Amino acid sequence: MSKSNICSNCASWRPHVQYPFIGLCIKLGKLTVDDDSCEFFEEIKLKNNEFYWVPDIKSRVFGEEARILNYKGYRVYVGAYVDPDVREEIYGAF
């Protein structure tokens, strides 16, 4: 497999919101590390009428803005994975 065919370059991979080096593969239905790979690799194709997740700025962006950020070197993903147990990482305040 090519080094470019890794999870973090795949349209089926959703990086974890807090830990972007791990993510959810929606094809395999499990968590993987960003440099893993499998036979289901599909290149991310940015479309003008969809939202995307940019971990570096922890924000969703729309079509053309996603293209500009991707051109500038930011990683752009179809979505993000929010761990259902993230509440365990939130510290209570008094």
Domain boundaries, the chain: 7-89
- Count each helix (H run) and each strand (E run) in the chain, helices first: 1, 5
- Write the CB contacts of 33 (distance below 8 Å, at least 6 apart in sequence): 7, 21, 22
Quick: pLDDT tens for 42-86.
999 999 999 999 999 999 999 999 999 999 999 999 999 988 775
pLDDT of residue 24: 95
pTM: predicted TM-score of the whole model, two decimal places: 0.81
Whether pLDDT at 36 is above 70: yes
pLDDT of residue 86: 59
Give the other-Cβ count within 10 Å of 87's Cβ.
7
Quick: pLDDT tens for 8-29.
999 999 999 988 899 999 999 9
